[in-house]
Structures are given as structure tokens and as C-alpha cells.
């Protein structure tokens, strides 16, 4: 999972190896978000404070359809729900 402040097109080469992409700013229609969908990488944009809230090593589950980011593994014990939704239309 990659958590970034903004959707930089230079990150496109990383997409094929990602389990998910979370960005603090950007649009679901940005170039990188479109490329992520083509690579079937779940993506959430408009997640305030994501870099600070989800530091390196934080286990996240991401629903690319709703933009919901959950701290922890939803397959395991009850996770702490962050309940973050995309601010822009998916």
C-alpha cells in the first residue's frame, strides 16, 4: 500500500506492484488515478492527513469503490475503522 500527499504521475511505474494507493489530495479523474484503475489498484483520493495518520508499516484495507480506508486487516480481528470517503466522485 502506498500512501502519498499527492498523485504524482511519476509514481505510475510503481502501480503494477501496489496493493493499493491512498492520496491526501487529487482527483479520481487525475492521470495517476486513471492509470491505477487500469492496473486494478484500489485507490482512495481526498483522504485528509493520510500520510500522518497512516505511517509506514500501518496495516490498511482499502475499498477502491467507496474510498473507505480501514486500519487493520478486515479478515482478522475487528479493525479500528477510519471511515474515510473519497471527496471526489469515483
**DSSP output for 16-79:** GG-S-EEESS--TTSHHHHHHHHTT--EE---TTHHHHS-TT--EEEETTTTEEEES-TTSSPP
Per-domain residue ranges for the chain? 2-81
Q: Which of 5, 16, 29, 31 is flagged as catalytic?
A: 31
Distance CA 90, CA 27 (A): 9
Show Cβ contacts of residue 36 under 8 Å, excluding neighbours closer than 6 positions.
Answer: 15, 18, 21, 42, 43
Active site residue 31: yes
pLDDT in tens, 4-62: 999 999 999 999 989 999 999 988 899 999 999 999 999 999 999 999 999 888 889 88
Which cell is 81 given?
A: 475503522
What is the pTM assigned to this prediction?
Answer: 0.78
> The domain 2-81 is classified under which CATH number: 3.40.50.720, 3.30.9.10, 3.50.30.10, 3.30.70.240?
3.50.30.10
Amino acid at each position: 500500500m502506498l500512501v502519498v500527499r499527492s498523485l504524482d504521475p511519476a509514481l505510475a511505474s510503481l502501480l503494477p506492484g501496489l496493493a493499493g494507493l491512498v492520496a491526501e489530495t487529487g482527483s479520481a479523474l487525475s492521470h495517476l488515478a486513471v492509470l491505477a484503475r487500469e492496473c486494478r489498484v484500489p485507490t482512495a483520493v481526498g483522504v485528509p492527513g493520510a500520510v500522518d495518520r497512516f505511517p509506514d508499516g500501518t496495516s490498511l484495507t482499502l475499498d477502491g469503490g467507496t474510498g473507505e480506508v480501514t486500519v487493520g486487516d478486515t479478515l482478522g480481528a475487528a479493525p479500528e475503522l477510519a471511515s474515510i470517503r473519497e471527496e471526489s466522485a469515483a
